């Protein structure tokens, strides 16, 4: 892809695979022309971050809401008075698993998972606490033709059970998210609920295919057991985490990071024991993903369909 030019912001690529740092903009007072370029950069680089911002929760919501309607994570508590802002808190003395501390894409157990997430740094450790991103475009494009053809035909059953269901070990403080000190959960959806999405999705803006394996939320392939599905899912997970497909986003207080949940997996580093980290997280809803194995989706919770041509 040819890199595009930007007139209303400065953009620095941070890795060969994906990711860009954007400066020269104030997200709290953004012109329409600058926003159009940010939208373009978001799709071109899949993960972007803006250092040195000063945003209230309202301003973070106003900026993120320019991408589309805000939704909320169905399992994390939001800040009082801010129904779209989830607080991600890890205390200095927290131990065990951190929120987001494995490769995943966000909330893919939902029928219409968020297409974008913004994360605003309130309090960060002096070092560590970065987020890693992996390009699911590159993950797909580097598979062999035979494996791409197989993946194109598969449908994955997603659920939040592995992370949030006490019946699957979510009460174990070493493995579980919901037992961690600092975080507040609000399980408004049944974590056992299952949702099908195509393994290969077509990105609605770029038209490119992505390998939409989303980590902990992918339980099994449709019409297969978990045991039968595990070898291929595990192979794809190792493939996606290839360092050549990744970039790394670091934070100072006031950094806002944003990622395209249709095109990346991410991983919150857990390398800052003894320090507190507080982030505000806002997400944008999107239509359900479509791909060769599920070219048309009819949303059951709203009268909405999404289609893509299948090649
Ligand atoms: C997330 O997975 O939504 C959070 C990522 C992070 O805290 O770095």
Cα of 130 from ligand 1 centre, angstroms: 9
> Does any domain span residue 95?
yes
pLDDT interval class at 170 (50, 70, 90): low
> Does any domain span residue 196?
yes
**Residue 261 domain boundaries:** 3-303
Residue 255 has pLDDT above 80, yes or no: yes
State the total domains in the chain. 1
- How many whole angstroms separate alpha carbon 201 and alpha carbon 197? 8
Closest residue (by CA) to atom 8 of ligand 1? 268
Cα of 279 from ligand 1 centre, angstroms: 8
> Does any domain span residue 101?
yes
pTM of the predicted protein model? 0.93
Cα of 131 from ligand 1 centre, angstroms: 7
> Does any domain span residue 252?
yes
Across 98-112, 162-176, 258-272, 287-301, the highest mean pLDDT is recorded for 258-272
Ligand 1 probe mutation, 117, 264, 272, most atoms within 8 A of CB: 117
CATH number of the domain within which 177 lies? 3.60.130.10
> Does any domain span residue 231?
yes
Residue 184 has pLDDT above 90, yes or no: no
> Does any domain span residue 241?
yes
> Does any domain span residue 145?
yes
Residue 209 has pLDDT above 50, yes or no: yes
> Does any domain span residue 89?
yes
């Amino acid at each position: 892809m040819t890199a595009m030019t930007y007139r209303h912001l400065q953009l620095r690529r941070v890795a060969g695979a994906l990711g860009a740092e954007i400066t020269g903009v104030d997200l709290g007072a953004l012109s329409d022309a600058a926003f159009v370029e940010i939208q373009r950069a978001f799709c071109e680089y899949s993960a972007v971050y803006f250092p040195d911002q000063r945003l209230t929760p309202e301003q973070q919501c106003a900026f993120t809401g320019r991408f589309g309607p805000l939704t909320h994570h169905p399992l994390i508590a939001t800040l009082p008075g801010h129904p779209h802002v989830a607080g991600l808190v890890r205390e200095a003395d927290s131990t065990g698993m951190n929120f987001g501390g494995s490769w995943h894409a966000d909330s893919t157990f939902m029928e219409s998972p968020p297409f974008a997430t913004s994360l605003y740094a309130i309090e960060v450790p002096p070092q560590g606490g970065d987020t890693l991103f992996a390009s699911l475009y590159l993950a797909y494009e580097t598979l062999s033709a035979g494996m791409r053809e197989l993946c194109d035909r598969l449908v994955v059953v997603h659920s939040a059970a592995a992370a949030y269901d006490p019946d699957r070990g979510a009460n174990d403080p070493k493995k579980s998210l919901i037992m961690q000190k600092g975080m507040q959960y609000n399980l408004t959806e049944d974590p056992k609920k299952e949702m099908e999405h195509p393994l290969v999705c077509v990105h609605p803006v770029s038209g490119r295919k992505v390998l939409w394996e989303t980590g902990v939320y992918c339980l099994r392939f449709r019409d297969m057991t978990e045991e039968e599905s595990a070898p291929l899912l595990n192979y794809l997970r190792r493939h996606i985490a290839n360092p050549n497909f990744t970039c790394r986003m670091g934070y100072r207080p006031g950094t806002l990071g944003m990622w395209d949940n249709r095109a990346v997996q991410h991983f919150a580093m857990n390398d800052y024991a003894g320090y507190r980290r507080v982030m505000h997280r806002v997400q944008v809803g999107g239509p359900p993903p479509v791909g060769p194995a599920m070219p048309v989706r009819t949303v059951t919770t709203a009268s909405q369909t999404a289609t893509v041509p299948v090649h």
